[in-house]
Amino acid sequence: MAEETHVLDRPPPGAAADWTVPQDWERFTPEEHATWDTLFARQAKLLPGRASNAWLRGLDVLHLDRPGIPRYEELNERLMKLTGWQVIAVPGLVPDDVFFDHMANRRFVAGNFIRRPDQLDYLEEPDVFHDVFGHVPMLADPVFGDYLAAYGRGGQRALGLDALKYLGRLYWYTVEFGLIAEPEGMRIYGSGIVSSYAESRFALDDPSPNRIAFDIARVMRTEYRIDDFQQNYFVIPSFDELLRQTVETDFAPLYEMLKEQPDIPVAAIEPEDVVLTQGTQDYARGRAA
């Protein structure tokens, strides 16, 4: 899910110099395929009317509804034709420069294991269900695909500007936990939400969190929690707008400005915010009590 913590600093045995490993699809057991099917069935029921049109379309055009953990080779044939993206397997979290290099070149790094049956609801490291079910449908969307590749190049730049903290928040609040205002209503496109049974209801239906209009600088100042539901979600007007604003803004002066400003706590509302739904914060209060 997140790309900011790293366990290893060189490719482990069996991995190539660029950290990739063969998916080795044959090694998955019937129980592991069944775990995928269980997770898939429960999310697929929940997401029509909740997930963005782009995500739903991606699921469909990539034939992700076939039983079992998808074979990357098959998936990549379709994906390559649609947007030039590929999914590649890596042994775990990889260093930032490796992550960004793959992303800038339209290679999405994905976990190579699936969670255990007792971890259906929560998992600390991204597994194949989060990475493939959550992220890959969005890679079939041409505009979002361009955004993610631009993000990879932005990451390479941010490394040199000592600004990963800010760029990482942009990833968190768009790619992982983003909402979009569609003509039919608010929808989910963030992969961390889409792959979570509980958060895919909480993010849209619960009265607790704030839902705030997306603003690059605002998002980059905002702290986030990796171990619980978000308390602020940011809503983009369209993928075209997300792409346009992020590509047209030179982040270097923005980073310099942000380094002078305080971070914004997770549930806070700022005077300049365009608040689409103001949350009760009941959920967060309940957890603190």
Q: In the complex, which residues of this chain contact ligand PHE (CB under 6 A)?
A: 150-151, 154, 157, 246-247, 249-251
Report the residue number whose CB is nearest to Fe ion. Answer: 1
Burial of 177 (0-12, 13-18, 19+ CB in 10 A): buried
Residue 1 binds which entry of Fe ion, ligand PHE, none, CB below 5-8 Å type-dependent: Fe ion
CB of 188 to Fe ion, least distance (A): 14
Using the minimum distance from each CB to ligand PHE, give the nearer residue, 79 or 219.
219
Q: Which stretch binds Fe ion (CB under 5 A): 191-199, 211-219, 226-234, 242-250?
A: 191-199
Q: Which of 227, 96, 99 is nearest to 165 (CA)?
A: 96
By CB under 5 A, tell whether 93 contacts Fe ion. Answer: no
By CB under 5 A, tell whether 1 contacts Fe ion. Answer: yes
Subset of residues 137 to 176 that bind Fe ion, contact rule: CB under 5 A = none
Tokens linked to 95? 């260093």
In the chain, which residue ranges form alpha helices assigned H by DSSP? Answer: 30-46, 53-61, 72-83, 96-104, 128, 136-139, 142-160, 164-171, 191-194, 199-205, 216-221, 239-248, 251-258, 282-288
Residue 246 binds which entry of Fe ion, ligand PHE, none, CB below 5-8 Å type-dependent: ligand PHE
Using the minimum distance from each CB to ligand PHE, give the nearer residue, 64 or 243.
243
Amino acid at 200: S
Report the residue number whose CB is nearest to ligand PHE. Answer: 154
The SS3 call for residue 277 is strand
By CB under 5 A, tell whether 104 contacts Fe ion. Answer: no
Taking residue 101's Cβ as centre, other Cβ atoms within 10 Å add up to: 19
Question: Total binding residues for Fe ion by CB under 5 A?
Answer: 2
The Cα–Cα gap between 285 and 29 comes to 42
Where along the sequence are the contacts to Fe ion (CB under 5 A)? Answer: 1, 191
